């Protein structure tokens, strides 16, 4: 947007408008297009993309979703339609400054448009590739597919011609950034702008609507009926999420949730509790229940890795200790103890057994640091699995039935409420996995509360001090060994508590469930990846990371052995472009990114130029 552009308002609308105008005059786009022409091309491409979804994309119903209808977009067409609408809305808000839509871009103006255009292109071109691979060539394209492919490419070309939101210094010999540099530059967050104060009721309403939208997005993703639709959903959401961040909406919502923290946590768990009521069967509530187990264990590992900085590669063993302890006292016919504890006693048994093992393992090993500690914990994880296999009555005492494990674990019964039976609640039919999901949600609330209290306590500050520099922490009077042992024991206890529920959800416990690396989580490698992917030291980070790492393999079973390859590629890209994780605290952001501040002040400390 230049000073002579007719779309530039005569009077600035606020600090964000003034900043945008200055940025546009100094920051070129990747393509040599005038700002006005780039906007028109982007708008025309987004409109044509929208129109393409009203046409048939293929001629046969053999491709999943049946994209053969006119005027009735479904599945992947709907994703492209949503992407085109969002691209057009953010273009009108950021570039054209349409009154009534300016709240969509409180921070950035053009970067969200480019990211959404790329997300729409990715979803559409992936659909084109899937049709080609499934049906055998582009000859199966109908006119709507060709229009969509060309329209999304036009939208991206126009968005690349838009100026960047933040100042850009071209490399020597360059007049403007190339498309790749422009794309990377779009991920750079603009400077914060003053937020308009809202009434208290409006802020609470925004929080409630946001969590409701999050519930809808999660439900849509987990309910996708075939893998191609889930991949398209991931592509669009993967670009839409940073687009909201670059627009400044994520920062505004974070400010509101921080201001109303109790209301935000309540809204989050109410939205999560509503999920089983959106399902008509247990097909996906079983996935959701296992996601909560995985996420809860990852949050316990976050105490060890994220707060105390202890690299634990055998953490899944504590989950196994809790599960085996609960299975032995569950009343199962294959249990050698032959006893059945009530639910609360089984939980205490599993958590207590994990606590004891955490102290026994941590006491002699936590005096090690770094790689040595990681190797020891990895060895403990493997020793646990091997010992469980050998306690079969032939290689050792008959305790765990060896590789066969403890099977036929009966369902939990709490206050006469059998979680293994169907129940009608508020007119909705809840199956066994929905019951276990709600039970696990209560456990998640407990773990989140413990994590938050510990993080803000004196021991939590000691963990952070030991994580940053144990030598300096010990010099300040902190007993490093003691605080690390507390972290190790607390993390083990939380994992054991989750293991008691896992034993009843899976109905059996076997040693193979607790390996270091396995295609199906939870395992130590995936738990550690969930903490790092989501963001170490945060509450929501491991929950989101664990949800993604469990949901993606569950929904992408059609790609078979390529799951681990794609998982490794995703980790490489994440470590390259966002090493602090998806949800990072301020400390990690300052640690991994250049803030523009000098590490060492210029001049000689304590001396003036004349004195020197």
Q: Are 179 and 304 part of one and the same domain?
A: no
| Mean pLDDT, contiguous 10-residue spans, the chain (612 residues) | 40 40 52 85 94 92 88 91 94 84 79 92 94 89 93 93 72 67 67 69 89 90 86 91 86 85 88 87 84 88 87 87 90 83 89 91 84 86 88 81 85 81 79 88 88 87 87 87 90 90 87 73 77 82 84 73 75 78 70 52 43 38
Q: Is residue 140 situated within a structural domain?
A: yes
Total domains, the chain: 2
Predicted confidence at residue 532, as pLDDT, reads 84
Tokens of 459: 């021991």
Residue 579 lies in domain: 286-589
Q: Is residue 601 situated within a structural domain?
A: no
Residues contacting 590, CB < 8 A, separation 6+: none
DSSP-assigned letter for residue 366: T
Predicted confidence at residue 108, as pLDDT, reads 67
Domain end marker among 143, 162, 190 = 190
In order of 262, 445, 539, 548, the CA distances from 449 in angstroms are: 11, 6, 10, 22
Tokens of 607: 């001396």
Q: Give the pLDDT confidence of 378-413 residue by residue, as tens digits.
A: 888 888 889 888 888 787 788 888 888 888 888 888
Can you tell me whether residue 483 is helix, strand or coil?
helix
Can you tell me whether residue 509 is helix, strand or coil?
strand
Ramachandran class of 602: left when φ > 0, alpha when ψ lies in -120 to 50, beta otherwise: beta
Instruction: Report how far residue 378's alpha carbon sits from residue 515's, in angstroms, rounded to the nearest whole number.
Output: 10
Domain end marker among 190, 215, 236 = 190
Q: Are 173 and 291 part of one and the same domain?
A: no
Let me know if 196 is exposed, middle or buried by CB neighbors in 10 A (0-12, 13-18, 19+).
Answer: exposed
Instruction: Report how far residue 244's alpha carbon sits from residue 239's, in angstroms, rounded to the nearest whole number.
Output: 9
Q: Is residue 199 situated within a structural domain?
A: no
Tokens of 409: 């674990």
Q: Is residue 240 situated within a structural domain?
A: no
Q: Give the pLDDT confidence of 198-219 residue by residue, as tens digits.
A: 788 888 998 999 999 989 998 9
Domain end marker among 190, 213, 228 = 190
In order of 188, 595, 602, the CA distances from 599 in angstroms are: 21, 10, 9
Question: What's the CATH number where 295 sits?
Answer: 1.10.3470
Predicted confidence at residue 198, as pLDDT, reads 76
What angle is formed at CA 462 by the lines to CA 457 and CA 464, rounded to 5 degrees? Answer: 100
Instruction: Report how far residue 502's alpha carbon sits from residue 294's, in angstroms, rounded to the nearest whole number.
Output: 9
Let me know if 112 is exposed, middle or buried by CB neighbors in 10 A (0-12, 13-18, 19+).
Answer: buried
Q: Are 173 and 294 part of one and the same domain?
A: no
Q: Is residue 483 situated within a structural domain?
A: yes
Instruction: Report how far residue 12's alpha carbon sits from residue 121's, in angstroms, rounded to the nearest whole number.
Output: 33
Residues in the chain, total: 612
Q: Is residue 281 situated within a structural domain?
A: no
Q: Are 185 and 292 part of one and the same domain?
A: no
In order of 1, 2, 43, 176, the CA distances from 23 in angstroms are: 9, 9, 21, 14
Rg (C-alpha) for the chain, rounded Å, is 27
Angle, helices 111-135 vs 35-52, to 10°: value is: 40
Q: How many Cβ atoms are within 10 Å of 367's Cβ, its own excluded?
A: 13
Tokens of 243: 């687009």
Predicted confidence at residue 22, as pLDDT, reads 36
Predicted confidence at residue 246, as pLDDT, reads 84
Question: What's the CATH number where 72 sits?
Answer: 1.20.120
Q: Is residue 99 situated within a structural domain?
A: yes
Q: Are 178 and 294 part of one and the same domain?
A: no
Can you tell me whether residue 605 is helix, strand or coil?
coil
Instruction: Report how far residue 539's alpha carbon sits from residue 298's, in angstroms, rounded to the nearest whole number.
Output: 10
Tokens of 249: 């909406």
Q: Is residue 172 situated within a structural domain?
A: yes
């Amino acid at each position: 947007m230049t000073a002579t552009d007719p779309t530039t308002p005569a009077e600035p609308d606020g600090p964000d408008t003034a900043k945008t105008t200055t940025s546009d005059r100094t920051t070129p786009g990747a393509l040599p297009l005038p700002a006005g022409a780039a906007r028109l091309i982007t708008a025309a491409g987004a409109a044509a993309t929208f129109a393409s979804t009203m046409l048939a994309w293929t001629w046969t119903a053999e491709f999943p979703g049946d994209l053969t209808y006119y005027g009735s977009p479904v599945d992947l067409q709907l994703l492209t339609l949503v992407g085109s609408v969002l691209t057009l809305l953010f273009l009108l808000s950021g570039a054209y400054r349409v009154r009534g839509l300016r709240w969509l871009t409180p921070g950035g103006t053009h970067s969200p448009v480019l990211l959404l255009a790329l997300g729409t292109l990715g979803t559409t071109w992936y659909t084109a590739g899937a049709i080609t691979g499934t049906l055998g060539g582009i000859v199966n394209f109908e006119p709507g597919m060709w229009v969509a492919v060309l329209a999304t490419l036009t939208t991206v070309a126009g968005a690349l011609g838009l100026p960047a939101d933040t100042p850009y210094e071209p490399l020597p010999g360059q007049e403007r950034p190339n498309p790749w540099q422009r794309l990377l530059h779009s991920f750079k967050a603009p400077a914060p702008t003053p937020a308009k104060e809202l009434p208290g009721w409006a802020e609470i309403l925004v929080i409630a609507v946001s969590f409701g939208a999050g519930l809808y997005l999660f439900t849509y993703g987990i309910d996708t009926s075939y893998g191609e639709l889930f991949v398209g959903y991931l592509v669009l959401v993967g670009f839409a999420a940073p687009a909201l961040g670059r627009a400044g909406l994520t920062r505004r919502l974070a400010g509101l949730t921080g201001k109303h923290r109790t209301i935000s946590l309540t809204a989050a768990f109410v939205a999560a509790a509503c999920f089983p009521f959106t399902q008509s069967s247990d097909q996906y509530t079983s996935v959701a229940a296992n996601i909560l187990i995985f996420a809860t264990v990852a949050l316990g590992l976050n105490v060890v890795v994220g707060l105390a900085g202890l690299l634990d590669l055998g953490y899944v063993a504590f989950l196994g200790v809790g599960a085996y302890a609960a299975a032995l006292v569950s009343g199962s016919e294959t249990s050698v103890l032959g006893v059945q504890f009530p639910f609360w006693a089984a939980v205490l048994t599993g958590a207590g057994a994990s606590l004891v093992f955490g102290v026994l393992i941590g006491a002699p090993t936590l005096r090690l640091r770094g790689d040595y500690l990681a190797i020891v914990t990895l060895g403990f994880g493997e020793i646990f699995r091997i010992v469980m296999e050998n306690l079969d009555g032939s290689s050792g005492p008959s305790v765990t039935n060896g590789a066969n494990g403890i099977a036929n674990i009966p369902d939990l019964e709490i206050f006469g409420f059998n979680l293994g039976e169907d129940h009608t609640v508020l007119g909705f039919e809840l199956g066994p996995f929905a019951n276990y999901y709600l039970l696990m949600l209560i456990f998640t609330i407990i773990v989140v509360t413990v994590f938050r209290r510990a993080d803000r306590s004196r021991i939590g500050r000691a963990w952070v001090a030991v994580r940053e520099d144990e030598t300096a922490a010990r010099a300040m009077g902190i007993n490093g060994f003691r605080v690390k042992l507390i972290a190790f024991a607390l993390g083990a206890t939380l994992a054991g508590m989750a293991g008691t529920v896992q034993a009843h959800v899976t109905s059996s416990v076997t040693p193979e469930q607790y390996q270091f690396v396995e295609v199906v989580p939870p395992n130590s490698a995936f738990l550690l990846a969930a903490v790092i992917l989501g963001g170490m030291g945060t509450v929501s980070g491991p929950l989101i990371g664990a949800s993604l790492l469990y949901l993606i393999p569950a929904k992408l079973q059609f790609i078979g052995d390529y799951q681990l390859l794609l998982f490794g590629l995703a980790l490489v890209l994440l470590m390259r472009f966002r090493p602090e994780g998806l949800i990072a605290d301020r400390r990690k952001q300052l640690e991994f990114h250049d803030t523009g501040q000098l590490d060492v002040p210029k001049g000689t400390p304590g001396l003036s130029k004349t004195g020197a």
